[in-house]
């Protein structure tokens, strides 16, 4: 069964990709979507089997892969609790994204190519989560990187999409270089790339040191940090995060699949898979905790100023990934995986809901040109409400709540219960990030669905409608983040006449293929946290559920449930605070955002420009790289190689040819004279010699 789950998406990708327009849109969509729903249908029984204790970990061999000296790599599919969780996350979200794309991409000319890329990505992700060795994991790791490059740059006619795809690929190469070094070092130390063998031997190297760059360093800390660099790149942690917001240039279904529930969680999955190894190095765990906390704080602050609806959700993803890394850093791997699980439902829901809004608004993504949409797209509104209630953690302590209430609050409590200095800082940062998460999430809802319609007078919408009437314009520039027509709240200045009546424009609800996934994901966003919490978090169930899969800390899980009442209520308190501030600023007194940005313009610009990371990297890396490239081009290639190489030799040949032509007069006496001179020279040489 596991072989079919993994390879059905690959087979579908090959059929749709090679068949392409020859087989047509509908057959390509049927093959790929059908394969994903089949994989999903087979994944849930495996997950339920581990929940009920009726299924146990096993490895399904596929083929012998590498035999080279001490390096032995078998292609094998590992099935355990961690794999089962990831199987349902990947296949469920991917199958719903495939279905959603039937409606969202219905007017695109390259649908077979798009669905082939989606299925190829899913296959690579499934290969990653079923890996039994680091080499196989690296294959899936690079596979999702390739597929994400193809999907982000799917609309390659857009310069911004092509640039975003290249940026994602290059930034991830930095992280993947560290990951590959970690794999090389692990093989050097353990003599194997088999994950079970490495994890079994890891405790024996607790205090070992190794020479590195002229110093003696802790062996396990070095290996774990190198592997963590790979996780930072793939999961967009601070420093290697810059690709994630730009990846929103791809179609919205891509954002939901890659950047909400699957690829960006690969780093969290890797840490949890190798958790017994990371548990050996407390220094590495401390670094992970601080990086996760910094990422959550950074992304939450930036999310408060963004106006592109997809970028707000993208920074929310970055922030939530920071929570997951904080959980791993304090040893709460069960809580990290639980948040990964619930996050898949509500973040995919928010992205697909945003796609439904964008579809209704003729691909306008700036929230300042929305407003009052809840009456026009009610199902989308309620779906995004469910996702917002889940991500902000709405619930009642000790009773029940939406998905994020159970998983995110568990991370906050685990950070406090860890009783470490890093855990204490992580707790404070997590609570503050929860406050900002509540604020910018409700800000998105209020700007989009409440207030007076601002789209009625938007020149951007007018242009989009005119384009839609004449041709499909998926590739138009969707970003107006610095447009002078609207302030932060969206009040326009000097707009054209309303579109309604002029062009007959009216926001419309999405078609059924786009709405069905919203309904399904809404159910997950509402109930997944409450229903699955005992298996992921409670020591009694969790110990058996996670046995042999991750380093499940039962003591920490007990301590997490026994933290003081004010710790349990802290996340709820800041959630309510963020909601009230958003209501005050975006419903009751809509002049507040403008007055705030005017008074704190420096801070606002700092956050709006994303802490100037892109500008900083541009001057540190891009500008020197371009200068170096021009130097080697002008001085090296043209000035040296071409001058003394092809161009120099070619010029010499031309001059020699010219001289040779001068000697070829065609007269007999000239040739006779040359022969006589040659004979005289030869005779002279013979006599002298």
Of 346, 686, 361, residue with least CA distance to 522: 346
**Least confidently predicted of 125-134, 475-484, 525-534:** 475-484
Is 287 contained in some domain?
A: yes
Per the CB < 8 A criterion, the answer to whether 322 and 289 are in contact is no
Residue 447 shares a structural domain with residue 517: yes
- pTM for the predicted model, two decimal places: 0.87
- Determine the pLDDT at residue 261: 61
Same domain, 416 and 315: yes
Residue 134 domain flag:
no
Both 553 and 448 in a single domain?
yes
What is the mean predicted confidence (pLDDT) over 228-239? 92
Average pLDDT along the chain: 87
Same domain for 632 and 573?
no
Top-confidence residue, 211 or 122: 122
Domain identity same for 626 and 599: no
What string of H, E and C letters represents the secondary structure of 80-135?
A: CHHHHHHHHHHHHHHHHHHHHHHHHCCCCCCHHHHHHHHHHHHHHHHHHHCECEHH
254-284 pLDDT, tens per residue?
Answer: 888 877 667 888 999 999 999 999 999 999 9
DSSP 355: H
Q: Per the domain annotation, does 77 fall within a domain?
A: no
Same domain for 688 and 634: no
Q: Cα-flanking dihedrals φ and ψ of residue 308, to 5°?
A: -75, 125
The answer to whether residue 98 is domain-embedded is: no
* 325 located within any domain: yes
Average pLDDT over every residue of 233-251: 89
Q: Residue 21: what pLDDT?
A: 80
Q: Are residues 632 and 689 in the same domain?
A: no
Confidence of residue 22 (pLDDT cuts 50, 70, 90): confident
Confidence of residue 141 (pLDDT cuts 50, 70, 90): very high
Tell me: do 618 and 560 sit in the same domain. no
Contact of 546 with 552, CB cutoff 8 Å: yes
Q: Supply angle C-alpha 91, 95, 101, rounded to 5.
A: 145
Report the distance separating Cα 578 and Cα 115, nearest Å. Answer: 39
Same-domain pairing of 536 and 679: no
Span 595-620, mean pLDDT?
A: 92
With cut-offs at 50, 70 and 90, classify the pLDDT of residue 481.
Answer: very low
pLDDT on residue 157: 87
CA distance 149 to 161: 10
- Separation between Cα atoms, residue 191 and residue 134, nearest integer Å: 12
With 80 as the cut, is the pLDDT of residue 462 above it? no
- Distance in angstroms (rounded) separating the CA atoms of residues 312 and 310: 5
Exposure letters 257-283 (e unless 16+ CB within 10 A, then b): bbbbbbbbbbbbbbbbbbbbbbbbbee
Statement: residue 220 has pLDDT above 70: yes
Q: Is the pLDDT of residue 479 over 50?
A: no
Q: What is the DSSP string of 383-425?
A: HHHHHHHHHTT-EETTTEE-HHHHHHHHHHHHHHHT-SHHHHH
pLDDT exceeds cutoff 70 at 458: no
Residue 26: inside a domain = no
Q: Strand ranges (DSSP E) for 135-273? A: 209-212, 215-218
Write down the pLDDT at residue 311.
92
> Per-residue confidence at 457, pLDDT binned at 50, 70, 90?
low
- pLDDT recorded at residue 579: 96
Instruction: Assess whether pLDDT exceeds 80 at residue 344.
Output: yes
Same-domain status, 620 and 561: no
pLDDT given at position 445: 96
Q: Work out how many domains the chain is built from and give that number.
A: 3
- Domain membership of residue 622 as a residue range: 609-644
Q: How confident is the model over 544-566, as pLDDT tens digits?
A: 888 888 888 888 988 988 899 99
Which of 136-140, 337-341, 471-475, 628-632 is predicted with the least confidence, judged by mean pLDDT?
A: 471-475
Label residue 140 by pLDDT band (50, 70, 90).
Answer: very high
Count Cβ atoms within 10 A of the Cβ of residue 177 and give its class: 0-12 exposed, 13-18 middle, 19 or more buried. middle
| Residues 546 and 621 occupy one common structural domain | no
Residues 399 and 338 in one domain: yes
**pLDDT score for 397:** 87
pLDDT digits (tens, 9 = 90+) for 419-430: 899 999 999 999
Q: Each residue of 88-111: pLDDT tens digit?
A: 999 999 999 999 999 999 888 889
- Identify the pLDDT of residue 586: 94
Per mean pLDDT, which range of 80-84, 475-479, 525-529, 584-588 is the poorest? 475-479
Helix axes 219-234, 159-190, angle to 10 degrees: 160
- 517 with 102: CB under 8 angstroms? no
List pLDDT tens digits, range 146-182. 999 999 999 888 898 999 999 999 999 999 999 999 9
Instruction: Assess if residue 581 is contained within a domain.
Output: yes
Q: Is residue 127 included in any domain, yes or no?
A: no
């Amino acid at each position: 069964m596991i072989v079919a789950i993994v390879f059905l998406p690959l087979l579908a990708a090959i059929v749709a990709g090679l068949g392409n327009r020859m087989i047509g849109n509908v057959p390509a969509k049927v093959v790929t979507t059908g394969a994903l729903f089949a994989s999903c249908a087979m994944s849930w029984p495996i997950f339920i089997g581990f929940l009920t204790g009726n299924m146990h970990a096993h490895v399904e061999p596929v083929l012998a892969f590498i035999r080279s000296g001490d390096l032995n790599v078998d292609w094998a599919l590992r099935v355990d609790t961690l794999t089962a969780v990831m199987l349902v996350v990947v296949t469920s979200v991917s199958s719903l994204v495939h279905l959603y794309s039937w409606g969202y991409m219905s007017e695109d000319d390259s649908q077979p190519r798009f669905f082939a890329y989606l299925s190829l990505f899913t296959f690579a992700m499934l290969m990653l989560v079923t890996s039994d060795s680091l080499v196989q994991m690296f294959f899936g790791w690079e596979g999702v990187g390739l597929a994400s490059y193809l999907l982000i740059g799917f609309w390659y006619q857009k310069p911004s999409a092509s640039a975003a795809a290249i940026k994602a690929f290059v930034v991830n190469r930095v992280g993947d270089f560290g990951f590959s070094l970690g794999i090389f070092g692990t093989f050097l130390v353990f003599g194997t790339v088999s994950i079970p063998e490495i994890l079994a031997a890891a405790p024996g190297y607790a205090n070992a040191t190794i020479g590195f760059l002229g110093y003696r360093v802790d062996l396990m800390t070095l290996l774990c940090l190198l592997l963590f660099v790979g996780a930072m790149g793939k999961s967009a942690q601070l420093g290697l995060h810059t690709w994630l917001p730009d990846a929103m240039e791809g179609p919205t279904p891509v954002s939901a699949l890659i950047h909400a529930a699957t690829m960006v969680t690969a780093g969290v999955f890797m840490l949890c898979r190798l958790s017994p190894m990371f548990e050996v190095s407390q220094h590495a765990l401390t670094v992970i905790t601080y990086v996760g906390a910094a990422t959550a704080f950074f992304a939450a602050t930036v999310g408060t100023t963004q106006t592109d609806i997809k970028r707000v959700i993208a920074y929310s993803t970055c922030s939530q990934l920071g929570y997951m890394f904080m959980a791993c850093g304090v040893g709460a791997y069960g809580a990290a995986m639980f948040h990964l699980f619930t996050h898949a439902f509500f973040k995919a829901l928010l992205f697909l809901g945003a796609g439904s809004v964008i579809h209704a608004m003729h691909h306008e993504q700036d929230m300042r040109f929305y407003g009052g949409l809840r009456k026009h797209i009610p199902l989308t509104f309620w779906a995004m409400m469910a996702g917002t209630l889940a991500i902000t953690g709405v619930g009642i302590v000790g009773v029940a709540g939406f998905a994020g209430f159970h998983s995110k609050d568990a991370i906050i409590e685990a950070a406090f219960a860890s009783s470490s200095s890093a855990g204490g800082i992580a707790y404070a940062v997590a609570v503050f990030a929860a406050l900002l998460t509540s604020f910018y999430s409700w800000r998105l809802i209020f700007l989009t669905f409440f207030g007076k319609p601002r789209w009625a007078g938007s020149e951007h919408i007018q242009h989009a409608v005119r384009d839609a009437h004449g041709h499909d314009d998926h590739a138009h520039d969707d970003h107006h983040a610095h447009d002078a027509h609207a302030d932060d709240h969206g009040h326009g200045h000097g707009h054209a006449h309303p579109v309604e009546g002029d062009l007959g424009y009216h926001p419309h609800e999405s078609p059924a293929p786009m709405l069905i996934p919203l309904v399904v994901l809404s159910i997950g966003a509402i109930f997944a946290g409450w229903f699955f919490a005992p298996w992921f978090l409670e020591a009694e169930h969790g110990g058996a559920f996670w046995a042999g899969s991750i380093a499940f800390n039962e003591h920490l899980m007990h301590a997490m449930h026994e933290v003081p009442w004010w710790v349990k209520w802290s996340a709820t308190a800041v959630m309510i605070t963020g909601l009230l501030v958003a209501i005050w600023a975006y419903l009751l007194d809509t002049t507040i955002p403008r007055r705030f940005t005017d008074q704190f313009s420096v801070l606002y610009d700092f956050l709006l420009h994303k802490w100037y990371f892109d500008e900083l990297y541009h001057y540190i890396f891009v500008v020197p790289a371009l200068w170096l490239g021009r130097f080697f081009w002008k001085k090296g290639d043209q000035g040296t190689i071409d001058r003394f190489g092809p161009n120099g030799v070619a010029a010499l040949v031309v001059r020699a040819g010219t001289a040779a032509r001068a000697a070829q007069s065609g007269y007999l006496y000239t040739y006779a004279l040359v022969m006589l001179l040659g004979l005289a020279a030869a005779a002279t040489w013979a006599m002298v010699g």
